[in-house]
Amino acid sequence: MSQDKKKTLSRLLTSSLLLHGLEAFAIPVKKSFDIDKIGTQESIFPFLAGAGPYFSYPENYGIPIEPPNKCELKQIQLIARHGERYPTTSKGAKLLSLWKSLQQYPKSFNGSLSFLNDYQFFIENEDVLEMETTIDNSVNAINPYTGEMDAKKHAREFLSLYEDLLDEKKEFAVFAASSERVHDTAQFFIDSLGSRYNVSLQTISEEPSSGANTLSAGYSCPAWDEDQYSNITEKYSTQYLIDIASRLNFENKGLNITANQANMLFTWCAYELNARGYSDMCNIFTREELIHYSYQDDLTSYYQDGPGYPLIRAVGSNLFNASVKLLQESEHLDQRVWLSFTHDTDILNYLTTVGLFDNGKKLDPSYVPFRDLIFHKSWIIPQGARVYTQKFQCENNTYVRYVVNDAVIPIESCSDGPGFSCEANNFYQYAEETMANMNFFQACNTSSVSNITDLTFYWDWKMTNYNATLLKE
């Protein structure tokens, strides 16, 4: 192993053991060579469609995420995705079916699939599907990429930057969508803040009947049709999947893997990383194939959940409008830190409305736009994604800016403040223009599922005490 790989491995394992505790030593490592593989596949995380472990936003101009010199933080908002997880029930069923099919192959595997000759599938039972990966359910005790570790590490990083905004004497709320894995992420985060703080975890319903009073507005949007632009997304060539299947079948006569099954191998790769810390399946792909897979996912998300679907800006406005209101009222609110946990699609909808990753150029299904592509879905919402809104004061003026996955992402039309921030009044004007003539409740036909027209949980949580039933989804 090279010295660089040894240093990476040492860093990952040290963090894992410190955050997970010595209990990690009680569970045996499955194979002696597991350790050598952990930390060697991080370069492919950005190509895994947001299904693999967390990574920092790659295009970072090096703008410090700390407040600029002589500036004081006034408010912090966080909208974060749940941590690394196992596949959903539907994808898990497809993976299990594929694994069973491979087990029936009567010969020894050759070529890039030869690792399957001595292999333990990473989904040990169906109970883990949909769930956060933890030290208890991970198939490798020294896996540094569990959702549990990610959330706890994130909390410690949060404290290093924003601890001064927390008041040890006052109760403050953390908000989580009612998915069990989202709730677990929020709880792991809270636990790692330590016992000094009086935290109330508010569980916000994802049911359509919640209407606008939700972190997951998409569930309350009957008008949303994810196939609206399938005529565009289906034009992207899947020849790369045919090539993968052909290569594997050539190496293993009689295997007969299909292009659809080849597509599932990317899913296998990503979720095994979450559960094991490495995946030999990831090594079967060329860089060209990873690029095609990643862009096809960008294209699909762009037209289903992002800027390519006009309705999405209305969906995201539900949360963006609440965020702007919190910023405007910051001087009058007891709470200066607003922490929310939800799903990837909710964050993508929100950022679509904010407009950080939309240059107005529609994604083209006929080629990969290497120079002009700013909508990298996996860069924006990997597992454990975190979007911070910072409001700080410098002398007599206040400013707003965004930090996405450890990188300052300026609003290009309003970034002349300290640290490429936007002066607060200009930001409010930007937000007003962005959401002009936009009404989530009307655009989504939400009245057909709910009569709740406003998002109120940030303001009425003490009186209401939100405690929605957890959903395993």
Catalytic (active-site) positions: 82, 344
- C-alpha–C-alpha distance, residues 403 and 390, integer Å: 8
Question: Taking the C-alpha atoms of 173, 55, 51 and 82 in order, what is their torsion angle to the nearest 10 degrees?
Answer: -10
Q: What is the distance between the alpha carbons of residues 230 and 197, in angstroms, rounded to a whole number? A: 48
The torsion angle over the Cα atoms of residues 207, 183, 174 and 136, rounded to 10 degrees, is 180
- Asked if residues 182 and 468 have their Cβ atoms less than 8 Å apart, the reply is no
- Nearest Cα neighbor of 387 from 331, 420, 348, 426 is 348
Distance of CA 37 to the CA centre of its chain: 24
Torsion angle, CA of 295/238/265/101, rounded to 10 degrees?
160
Q: How many CB atoms lie within 10 A of CB 263?
A: 17
Report how far residue 5's alpha carbon sits from residue 258's, in angstroms, rounded to the nearest whole number. 35
Pairing of strands 71-81, 337-342: parallel
**How far, CA to CA in Å, does 234 sit from each of 207, 257, 297, 369?**
30, 21, 11, 17
Name beta bridge partners: 173: 200
Beta bridge partners of 120: none
Greatest pairwise CA separation for the chain in angstroms: 74
Find, among 300, 319, 304, the residue nearest to 327 by Cα: 319
User: Which residue from 383, 360, 439 is spatially nearest to 147, judged by alpha carbons?
Assistant: 383
CB atoms inside a 10 Å sphere around CB 237: 12
Q: Which residues pair with 203 in a beta bridge?
A: 176, 467
